[in-house]
Amino acid sequence: MSTYVLIHGAWHGGWCWDRVVPLLEQHGHSVIAPDLPGHGDDKTPLHQVTLQAYADKVCEVVNAQAEPVILVGHSMGGMVITRAAEQCVSKISKLVYLAAILLGNEAPVPEDPEALIGPSMILSADQNFFTVKEDMIKPAFYGDCSNADIAWATSKLTPQPSNPMGQSATTVTTEENYGRIPRVYIECLKDRAITPAAQKTMYTNMPCEQVISMTTDHSPFLSDPEGLAEHLHRLRS
């Protein structure tokens, strides 16, 4: 069986994988879902959080495992796993981008005028973090989720440090490191945070060995955890 490291996206924490972790473990896999700095239970001051700090945390977790891992990044977590993969390539067997930002060599994030997330963001007065307009949380993140799940997830969202959001195009990848790791993209066809069109642009510009489609919102770890876990299980090494 395989070891999976699951990396959350903006505003979220390792908690968002709570329903996927036991399903993968039932298949015999080992699963780690850490909090990135400034997220979940991690108390790193928001103004100190950078994209590099995220990548360093991921490499710390990955390097502690006995075998190369399947590294999964959701949404903003895509740019985190890309940078981490360039740093700790020998400990990663596969990269999985789940409705995620997939960029290389300073390519810009594709224009996504239909996405809800941009208009939903509120920058703090000190410019250290973003929050999300309360009435946009459901349509942007959790369109297919139950009201109970939305309430649970909303109660756990934390402010998103602004520094990493401005550093999304600063990772330079090389064929010798990042380029030698197989990539898989899982697109979410009802996504309104990163639209399917933008997802397709990214995985077309950065080709993957496999593209998997899920007919879900931006958060299949809540709206279809069984389906997501099964897709991830089939990617086992």
pLDDT for the residue 237: 67
Catalytic residue among 75, 162, 168, 223: 75
Q: What is the pLDDT of residues 188-213, one digit of tens each?
A: 999 999 999 999 999 999 999 999 99
**pLDDT higher than 70, residue 181:** yes
pLDDT for the residue 78: 97
Q: Residue 168: pLDDT band by 50, 70, 90 thresholds?
A: low
- Longest CA pairwise span in the chain (Å): 48
The lowest-confidence range among 42-51, 105-114, 154-163, 204-213 is: 105-114
Q: What is the pLDDT of residues 122-138, one digit of tens each?
A: 999 999 999 999 999 99
DSSP state of 109: P
The sign of the CA dihedral 216, 220, 225, 230 is positive
Q: What is the pLDDT of residues 60-116, one digit of tens each?
A: 999 999 999 999 999 999 999 999 999 999 999 999 999 999 997 767 788 899 999
pLDDT for the residue 106: 63
Beta-bridge mates of residue 214: 188
Domains located in the chain, CATH noted: 3-234 (3.40.50.1820)
Q: Residue 147: pLDDT band by 50, 70, 90 thresholds?
A: very high
pLDDT for the residue 105: 76
75 has catalytic annotation: yes
Starting at the edge strand found earlier in the chain, the sheet holding 30-32 runs 30-32, 3-7, 69-74, 92-98, 183-188, 210-214
Residue 204: CB atoms within 10 A of its CB come to 13
How does the average pLDDT of the chain come out, rounded? 95
CA distances from 119 to 34, 40, 42, 66, 168 (A): 28, 24, 27, 43, 18
